Amino acid sequence: MAYTLSGKVKLIQDPQTFNSGFTKREMVVIVEDGKYPQEINLEFVQDKVSLLDNLQPGQDVTVTFDIRGREYNGRYFNNLQAWKVETGSSDDSYMNQEPPAFDNNVPEVSFDDDIPF
């Protein structure tokens, strides 16, 4: 199941390559969430590492990712594994929606002026 989040890039880590040949690169995105913004760490692995090459801190992005979980020595770990990044403001999506239809057939309501309070 895919999830998305939108925010500003805070930082992009350098790629890490391990002895096994596995490569990953992490990015932190600041997501406005009420009073306290959240700093979300996302990882890009293998061929998806290159998606971060043209990004800069401060850019608005929408990231699509999967949640991955695993157990190691009785402890459980979760990762947000990203696989798609779109740049630009994501809050403009409402601009492409049609406004709700206006109903001209609304019945007229009359109010009694003899309200006791």
Give which of 67, 97, 100, 102 is closest to 82, Cα–Cα: 67
pLDDT at residue 33, rounded to an integer: 85
Domain boundaries in the chain?
3-89
Q: Looking at this protein, which amino acid is placed at residue 35?
A: K
Statement: residue 74 has pLDDT above 60:
yes
pLDDT > 90 fraction of the chain, expressed in percent and rounded: 71
* Three-state DSSP state, 110: coil
Q: Which fold has domain 3-89?
A: OB fold (Dihydrolipoamide Acetyltransferase, E2P) (2.40.50)
**Residue 95's pLDDT is what?**
34
Tokens describing residue 10: 């805070």
